[in-house]
Amino acid sequence: MPTISGDLVMILSLVIGSALVILEAFMPGFGIAGISGVVLEVIAIYAAWNTHGVVFALLLTLGVLVLIGCAVFLSYRSAMKGRLSQSALILNDTQEVGGAGEHPLASLVGLKGITVTALRPGGTVEISGRRVPAASGGDFMDKGQSVSVTGTEGDHVLVQKC
């Protein structure tokens, strides 16, 4: 015979756990809300098993899995097309480094400079009075070597001997 306390634990655990799982689906990472929600869902399933039997617990488990699947689907859809895709938390392919669509060091390509430190193969060069991180194509270069900028990669310029 079902008990009121078992049903109350099951219902509260199910409602609060579901809310926490849905909340976690829209927050980056897997944190306390998600872990707490899953624990409460397991408690709800256990209470259903104790109160109503195995079949009811299995049906509740299926319902919980469908709910979690829907929450993941909705958060994925929101991340791709909805309001979440417009936020700064997600970088899209259309967003460019530097905001203008051009690499911040691209203006240095073709200019000549001098190595401030030895490049083994990374170090620092000075180009037009500006010190920037640089890397050679694998060649080691001594300090004071004349170089020309051939390209950019990440946060540094690529250089070769003049």
Domain boundary assignment for the chain = 4-86, 106-161
pLDDT in tens, 62-92: 988 887 788 778 777 776 776 555 554 444 4
pLDDT for res 72: 76
Q: What is the pTM of this model?
A: 0.45
pLDDT band, very low/low/confident/very high, at 2 (cuts 50, 70, 90): low
pLDDT for res 127: 93
CATH, range 106-161 = 2.40.50.140
Closest CA to 69 of 30, 28, 11, 18: 18
Q: Is pLDDT at 38 greater than 60 in this prediction?
A: yes
